[in-house]
A and B are shown apart, each in its own frame.
Chain A
Amino acid sequence: MRVEVIMPRMGQSMEEGTILNWLQPLGAVVKRGDPLIEIESDKATVEIEAFATGRLAEILVQPGDAAPIGAILAYIEVEERAIRPREPVLPTTPVQNVGQPEARRPSVVSPVARRVAQEHGFDPATLAGTGPGGRVTKEDVQTAVTASIDTAQASSALSLKPGRLDISPLARRLARENNIDLRLIVGSAPNGRIIKRDIVSMLAAPDTAVLAAPSLPNAGQPGGVVRMPLSRLQRIAAKRMVESKQQIPHFYLTLDVRMERSLLLRESLNRRGKRVSINDLVLKATALALAAYPSLNAVYEGNDLLLNEAVNLAFAVAVGDKTRSEGLTTPVIHGCQALTLVEIAGRAGELAAKARDSKLTPDQLSGATFTVSNLGMFGIRQFQAIINPPQVAILAVGALQKLAVFDDQDRVTPAQQMTVTLSADHRATDGAEAAGFLATFKEVIEDAFVLAE
């Protein structure tokens, strides 16, 4: 059987890729997982692994040539055995004609194997059994299911997780013992390595989606379901968010602030060519308020709260287009306590641009002591954000709204109002303290002189 090697899709914007190098010579026997091709896309150079075990029978695209996504690059000649790892005990009748189903004696199928096969839409009679007397066992069915998934991946532009999985041996064993599909797990160790704690937290969060051997209902057929793999960023975020929501006792405080003065300040700065956004105003005010409330500018660790002298503010930047998010990234402005509004604005602009180009360095993504999440630009009035551990609080910023409000003399006046919601970790702080923080924030952001200092 020949398995196609196709040009993989390696990024949202990728339309075609260029073969840099075949890492195996024509005729070589490749194993599934062996590096096979070096491909250059518009963004990166990537090693693509063989998705099947067999002989590299034909190379259709030569180094230096480009091919569109999905184009056949080569064929791997796969021995039947590669799909059925073990030979049946009794010899099967020789194949009469290529393309015709193999004539074989009736299979004996164990009850559990029959059930598993049915769950996955397999006819167990088509499988070769490795049990006593050629009995088709549960394991045979699972092998076939896995092989079919692998084949589906090989011929599909969407693979669950391209590249080699980095998994600790212990995690691999635990996953096997607990029937967990490792391809759906995001590793928490450096380089995304999956380790024991990832499996344990996955088990603690029962989610059938991670169980192995998923069926693919109507995959790829019209009107069916399209499997949309999460990006690495999204998978990491997903895991973090689950942990946060499960482990951190969140509480939420909402406050309205008036923005007239700071908007005037912004206007005057912008007139002088200094680009300052509303978010920059929020960042500066947050930095000032945190200086007064160190327990919110902290990291929760074990039984201790580590108070940070530096105010390192993370702010969320969306990656991807409006209809299909590729995840949020949160660049960090270090040392905000010592930065002026204009400096903060400058750094934020640089980091946001880098974030959109995926050029942030690890330093620029780590070390945050507090996060500001702003959905104001989308018109969201108010929302509650999930704390990003080990931080202990996050500020959710809504849209600027022009409202009619009562002034001191109970006259109705126009107001530029913005609603902010603080999510805080009740292990690290309490309502009174958090309220004090918000009050300070309000005080500062409503006082343009303090912001402009």
Chain B
Amino acid sequence: MITAAQEALPNPVHSGAGREITYRDAIRDAMFEEMARDSNVFLIGEDLRDPWGGAYKTTLNVSNVYGSERVINTPIAEESIIGASLGAALTGLRPIAELQYLDFVMRAMDAVVNQVAKVRYMSGGQVQVPLVIRAQGGGGRSSAAQHGNSLESWLCHVPGLFIAHPSTPYDAKGLLKTAIRLNDPVFFIEHKMLYMTKGMVPDEDYTIPFGVADIKRPGTDVTIVANSRMVLLSLEAAELLAADGISVEVIDPRTLVPLDEATILESVHKTNRLVVVNEGVERCGWAAEVVAMVQKRAFSDLDAPIERVCSRNVPLPFQPDMESYVLPSVAEIIEAVKTALYVS
């Protein structure tokens, strides 16, 4: 589903040609190009090789080109996939590990949290961990409670990781290339509902720095901070609110860790109102972190309580109507914006 709001996104400024590709192909292209650039880059995970090419086809044709040595299919053993990736990263390689569903990270939580994120610190800075862990999360397709989690907040809670959470093909490709080139572990979270969305991506090699938010839509009355698919919903809400004369600024931090606080604070300074939209369940979520940050650093800029729009505090249900009810919606975002504006 491509929303009108997303099609209205301004094309990034790049010299030379570009083309419109899907989010999925943007991710695939990033890996493909980085594998050509550096022979130490390889893919490891479940079902990656051709002809299957990954559960969500993000590795389609990669093993056809680079061979099965560089696209390693694994047993269904998430802890060992991540543990082994760490061992490879500690011995000179730059693995890109894929967890087929973000939900499965729970099987690998020790490897992610106690090993990958901490080994540099525990060793007093002896090592580098150039490891990217990719996973797709999120609801919207009746994937139910064990295949639709949005666990970015959990991962943000782990010191030692960087967390990228792109919303557009352009961001996905640029951020993934940065992730692959960084010497720190990066958790790169994709969204299953975004894979088929399209956007302009330049032909030239480019990267997007971490910790730099993108203002997806400028506005003056209220600031929405959202990530991943919630950016698209927020843009839709902003478009509808514009018809009511409400000017919404939509900020996509693109990386949750590190967080571009400055862009958010600057926007709140301008609008005096903030709505944070995150697909994870509300309680103790990433949105709460943004709220806490803003109330601390921009308290005197706030003219209204900060609103949060997150999933309700239940597991994701299967039935589509129930699922929609639990997930954040455009209507709820509009409602939150109006509340923040004291408009009923």
Binding site for B on A (CB under 8 A): 168-173, 188-190, 193, 195-196, 302
Q: Are A169 and B245 in contact (CB under 8 A)?
A: no
Pairwise interchain contact A168-B304, C-beta atoms closer than 8 A? yes
Known: A169-B303, A170-B303, A195-B304. 13 other contacts (CB 8 A): A168-B302, A169-B301, A170-B272, A170-B300, A171-B303, A173-B301, A188-B342, A189-B304, A190-B342, A193-B342, A195-B303, A195-B342, A302-B245
Count chain B CB atoms within 10 A of each CB in A169, A189, A195, A302 and give the residue with the most. Answer: A169
Q: Which of B244-267 contact A (CB under 8 A)?
A: 245
CB-CB under 8 A from B301, the residues of chain A are 169-170, 173
Distance in angstroms from A67 CB to nearest chain B CB is: 37
A237–B301 Cα distance when bound, in Å, is: 28
* Residue B299 CB within 8 A of the other chain: yes
- Which residues of the other chain, A, contact B299 by a CB distance below 8 angstroms? 169
Closest residue of B by beta carbon distance from A194? B303
Residues of chain B within 8 A (CB-CB) of A196 are 272, 303
Given contacts A195-B342, A302-B245, contact A173 B300 (CB under 8 A): yes
Q: How far is the CA of A173 from the CA of B301 in the complex (A)?
A: 8
Contacts of A173 in B (CB 8 A): 300-301
Q: For the complex, what is the distance from the CA of A188 to the CA of B245, rounded to whole Å? A: 20
Shortest Cβ distance from A393 into chain B, in angstroms? Answer: 23
Taking CB atoms, residues of chain B closer than 8 Å to A169 are 299-303
Hey, which chain A residues are within 8 Å of B342, CB to CB?
A: 188-190, 193, 195
**Chain B minimum-CB-distance residue to A198:** B303
Give min CB distance, B172 to chain A, whole Å: 36
Cβ A170 vs Cβ B302 within 8 A: yes
Q: How many A-B residue pairs have CB under 8 A?
A: 29
Please, which residue of chain B has its CB at the minimum distance from the CB of A199? B303
A173 to B, closest residue via Cβ = B300
Q: Chain A residues near B300 (CB, 8 Å)? A: 169-170, 172-173
| B residues less than 8 Å from A190 (CB atoms) | 342
* Docked CA distance A189–B342 (Å): 6
Distance from A323 Cβ to chain B, minimum over Cβ atoms (Å) = 36
Residue of B nearest to A195 (CB): B303
Chain A's closest residue to B295 (CB) is A169
CB distance from A185 to the nearest CB of B (A): 14
B302 / chain A contacts, CB cutoff of 8 Å:
168-170
Closest 4 CB pairs of A and B: A173-B300, A170-B303, A189-B342, A196-B303
Q: Give Cα A190 to B304, complex, Å.
A: 10
- Selected A-B contacts with CB under 8 Å, 19 pairs: A168-B272, A168-B302, A168-B303, A169-B299, A169-B302, A169-B303, A170-B272, A170-B300, A170-B301, A170-B302, A170-B303, A172-B300, A173-B300, A189-B304, A190-B342, A193-B342, A195-B303, A196-B303, A302-B245
Q: How far is the CA of A173 from the CA of B300 in the complex (A)?
A: 6
Closest chain-A Cβ to B302's Cβ sits at a distance in Å of: 5
B216 to chain A, nearest CB (A): 25
Interface residues of B in 85-124 (CB under 8 A from A): none
Q: A168 CA to B268 CA in the complex, in Å? A: 14
What is the distance, in angstroms, from A301's C-beta to the closest C-beta of chain B?
8
Give the chain A neighbours of B272 by CB distance below 8 A: 168, 170, 196
- Most chain B CB atoms below 10 A, which of A170, A171, A190, A193: A170
A165 to chain B, nearest CB (A): 15
A170→B245 CA distance, assembly (Å):
23
A226–B74 CA distance with the chains assembled, in angstroms: 85
Q: How far is the CB of B294 from chain A (nearest CB, A)?
A: 11
The listed residue with most B CB atoms (<10 A of its CB), out of A168, A172, A173, A190, is A168
Alpha-carbon distance between A343 and B304 when the two chains are bound, in angstroms: 42
Smallest beta-carbon distance A186→chain B, Å: 14
* Assembly CA distance A136 to B303 (angstroms): 35
Q: Which of B219-258 contact A (CB under 8 A)?
A: 245
Alpha-carbon distance between A169 and B295 when the two chains are bound, in angstroms:
9
Instruction: Kindly list chain B residues whose C-beta atoms are within 8 Å of the C-beta of A172.
Output: 300
Alpha-carbon distance A172/B303, docked complex (angstroms): 9
> Least Cβ distance of B304 to chain A in Å?
6
Complexed CA–CA distance, A56 and B303 (Å): 35
Q: Within 8 Å CB of A188, what residues of B?
A: 342
Closest to A176 in B: B300
In whole Å, how far is A271's beta carbon from the nearest beta carbon of chain B? 45
CB distance from A170 to the nearest CB of B (A): 4
Q: What is the bound-complex CA distance between A193 and B303, given in angstroms?
A: 10
Min C-beta distance of A320 to chain B, whole Å: 29
User: Which chain B residue has the least Cβ–Cβ distance from A172?
Assistant: B300
A58 shortest CB reach to chain B, Å: 37
Q: Which residue of A lies closest to B299 (CB)?
A: A169
In chain B, positions 287-312 with a C-beta closer than 8 Å to chain A are 299-304
Q: Which among B245, B299, B303 has the highest number of chain A CB atoms within 10 Å?
A: B303
- In the complex, the chain B residue whose C-beta lies closest to that of A170 is B303
Task: Give every chain B residue within 8 A of A170 (Cβ-Cβ).
Answer: 272, 300-303
Residue of B nearest to A188 (CB): B342
Residue of B with least CB distance to A197? B303
Chain B residues within 8 Å of A193, by CB:
342
The chain A residue sitting closest to B300, CB to CB, is A173
Which residue of A is nearest B339, CB measured? A190
Min distance, Cβ B242 to any Cβ of chain A, angstroms: 13
Quote the shortest CB–CB distance from B323 to chain A (angstroms): 32
Q: What chain B residues lie within 8 Å of A195 (beta carbons)?
A: 303-304, 342
Nearest residue in B to A190 (C-beta to C-beta)? B342
Residue of B nearest to A171 (CB): B303
How close is A332's CB to chain B, nearest CB, in angstroms?
15
Residues of B319-342 whose CB lies within 8 A of A: 342
* CB-based nearest A residue for B305: A168
A195 to B301, alpha carbons, bound, how many Å?
11
Question: How many Å lie between the Cα of A171 and that of B272 in the bound state?
Answer: 10
Q: For residue B299, give the distance in angstroms from its CB to the closest CB of chain A.
A: 5
